[in-house]
């Protein structure tokens, strides 16, 4: 993996760049659609490309449980399995082990847990997480970490970070595929001094990139922004920074300002299936009655397939009728919105006009609220 930085904002830490992987190059700041089970729900790989996606995320925990990493490896690896020839990042499965398992027991060796699917018993530690991701063949893989609950006291978070650091070193010691990049994960809850300790220890190990984990778990946006900004300060400037599981369009803008290069979140796809659509002026709830005869596209400033061809009235009809096409069209629009937002951010950084971009971004939302 190679990370190139091309432009830096003169007024904040925002920057543009590119990351080269064995399956191609993607531009940063980048948003990665979430393809948990080797599929971004409701859309095809071709539609992802049309939306502007250059890299997607898949999930180690889910693919380990079904169909199994060995089956995917036998069938040629994740890229071939899902017909996605471009870069893929896999998370380590740590978050799902702790959040989805019916029961789990944590030791220094790893985590014993019960499958959320059938209750069967499994064990994943750092070595197993690396073995699974090696078999999947992702371009960027993540170190195994403990995802602490929120809220949690200082003692718990401190011990959790120490365990995550031990696991990170064990992940570093594992074999990887040629060209596979490994990112370390910084944890520390809402305690900035523990975050600093985690960041410095993780950086000492010399990963290819660094992720900020343990956020978007219930904390308010102000606290999240403080933690992100504070953590980035302790990460090397020449390595990519990945904010895991975050977030809203506002989260993306604020985090780019702080120096984040990569994002993933289920919001655009999950909200699409729930009938919430993102626009340049904020969100709209397509089931609302006042869209019943609205001939306008979802967003008149949007160039996606959905907005070029369908009205709000039609999308409302599909959603209220529970037609499957509603989920596809809504998802195409939301993903295009997110990818287009990142493209506009990159353009603003290149032109060194982030301040005016941020002003326009928030003015559009505030004007919509007032109207």
List, by residue number, the catalytic residues: 91, 264
Residue 186 contacts by C-beta under 8 Å, 6 or more apart in sequence? 195, 198, 199, 202, 210, 211, 212, 213, 231, 235
Distance in angstroms (rounded) separating the CA atoms of residues 26 and 159: 36
Distance in angstroms (rounded) separating the CA atoms of residues 175 and 92: 15
- Count of CB atoms situated within 10 Å of the CB of 41: 17
- Count of CB atoms situated within 10 Å of the CB of 172: 16
Q: Write out the H or E segment, with its range, that includes residue 13.
A: none
Burial of 318 (C-beta count, 10 Å sphere; 0-12/13-18/19+):
buried
316 close to 300: Cβ distance less than 8 angstroms: no
Instruction: Write out the two tokens for 313.
Output: 């009235």
Q: Could you tell me the CA-to-CA distances from 145 to 108, 208, 270, 277 in Å, in that order?
A: 11, 16, 25, 33
Instruction: Write out the two tokens for 209.
Output: 């990139």
Distance in angstroms (rounded) separating the CA atoms of residues 147 and 164: 9
């Amino acid at each position: 993996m190679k990370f190139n930085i091309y432009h830096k904002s003169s007024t904040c830490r925002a920057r543009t760049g590119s990351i080269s992987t064995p399956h191609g190059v993607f531009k940063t700041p980048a948003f990665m659609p979430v393809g948990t089970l080797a599929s971004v729900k409701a859309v095809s790989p071709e539609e992802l490309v049309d939306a502007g996606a250059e890299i997607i995320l898949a999930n180690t925990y889910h693919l380990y449980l079904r169909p199994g990493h060995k089956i995917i490896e036998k069938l040629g690896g994740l890229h071939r399995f899902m017909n996605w020839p471009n870069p893929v990042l896999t998370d380590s499965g740590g978050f799902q082990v702790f959040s989805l398992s019916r029961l789990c027991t944590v030791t220094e060796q790893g985590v014993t847990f019960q499958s959320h699917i059938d209750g069967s018993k499994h064990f994943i530690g750092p070595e197993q997480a690396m073995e699974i991701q090696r078999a999947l063949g992702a371009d960027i893989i993540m170190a195994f970490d403990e995802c602490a609950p929120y809220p949690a006291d200082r003692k718990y978070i401190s011990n959790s970070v120490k365990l995550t650091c031990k696991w990170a070193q064990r992940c570093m010691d594992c074999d990887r595929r040629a060209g596979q990049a490994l990112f370390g994960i910084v944890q520390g809850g809402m305690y900035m001094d523990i975050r600093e300790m985690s960041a410095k220890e993780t950086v000492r190990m010399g990963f290819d990139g660094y992720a900020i984990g343990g956020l978007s778990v219930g904390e308010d946006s102000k606290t999240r922004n403080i933690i992100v900004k504070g953590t980035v300060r302790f990460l090397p400037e020449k390595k990519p920074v990945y904010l895991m599981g975050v977030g809203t369009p506002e989260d993306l803008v604020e985090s780019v300002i702080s120096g984040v290069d990569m994002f993933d979140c289920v919001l655009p796809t999950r909200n699409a299936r729930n009938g919430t659509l993102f626009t340049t002026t904020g969100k709209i709830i397509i089931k609302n009655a006042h869209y019943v005869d609205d001939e306008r596209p979802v967003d008149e400033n949007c160039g996606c397939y959905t907005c070029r061809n369908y009205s709000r009235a039609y999308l409302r009809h599909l959603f209220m009728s529970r037609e499957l096409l509603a989920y596809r069209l809504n998802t195409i629009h939301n993903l295009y919105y997110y990818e287009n937002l990142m493209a506009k951010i990159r353009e603003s950084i290149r032109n060194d006009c982030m301040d005016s971009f941020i002003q326009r971004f928030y003015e559009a939302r505030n004007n919509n609220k007032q109207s």
